[in-house]
Amino acid sequence: MIANEDEAREYCRTLCDAAAMERFDRFIPMLLDESARQNLISAASLDSVWQRHIADSVQLLAHVPHETSLWLDLGTGAGFPGLVIALARPEMAIRLVESRKKRITWLESVRDHFDLSQCEVFGSRLEHVESFPAGVISGRAFAPLDRLVALSARFSTPDTHWLLPKGRSAAQELAMQPANVQRMFHVERSATDPEAGILIGRGQLQGKA
């Protein structure tokens, strides 16, 4: 279990190359600077960005193949986990969905600064994004699980990997779902918080928004 900033940084080294680590070192001051203007991250996490945001996002890479195809991140917000994944794996096709104007501008500015040509920002509500097959679907604090499935199932295929950080509510949310959803997912403990869980699954779901 990651307990501090040094451990979080070392953990990221196990999943990211030196170029990615250099990008993170440049990204964090940008994040802190912008947070003073639009409250991207909570004040409580300003001194633990590596643990609370970078490693918390990077850990998802441990649950998908390295050659994963298109990654869809729901409600990316300040960039977690989707923008961090793009910084870690710039060769990967990643689509970030975010509807808040200031957050959209922030995501686009970081993408352009680091020349993340495979990262596309969808400045829209997910309901208005045209369907496409996603190799990975992720979402941190995007919506309750039933709502998330209803909105995003149309992007899933039999090979889609679902990576849904759910904090302390992971097991409870899963237990409230239909049997087919419960069978497809399991709860993995977060590497950055002993009380937080990640819902991990693989397959195609049906849902109606």
Distance between CA atoms of residues 17 and 15, nearest Å: 7
Q: Tell me the fold of 5-202.
A: Rossmann fold (3.40.50)
Give the Å distances, CA to CA, from 122 to 97, 100, 104: 5, 11, 8
Average pLDDT value for the chain:
96
Give the Å distances, CA to CA, from 71 to 4, 135, 182: 28, 6, 23
Domains of the chain, residue spans = 5-202
| pLDDT confidence bin for 67, thresholds 50/70/90 | confident
**pLDDT, tens only, 1-49:** 999 999 999 999 999 999 999 999 999 999 999 999 998 999 999 999 9
Radius of gyration of the chain (CA): 16
- Structure tokens given for 190: 């977060």
Q: Of the ranges 20-24, 38-42, 105-109, 134-138, which one carries the lowest mean pLDDT score?
A: 38-42
Q: What is the pLDDT of residue 208?
A: 62
pLDDT at 52 over 80: yes
Residue spans of beta strands (DSSP E) within 25-75 = 71-74
**pLDDT, tens only, 111-127:** 999 999 999 999 999 99
Asked if residue 118 lies in contact with residue 92, where contact means CB atoms within 8 angstroms, the answer is yes
Asked if residue 90 lies in contact with residue 118, where contact means CB atoms within 8 angstroms, the answer is yes
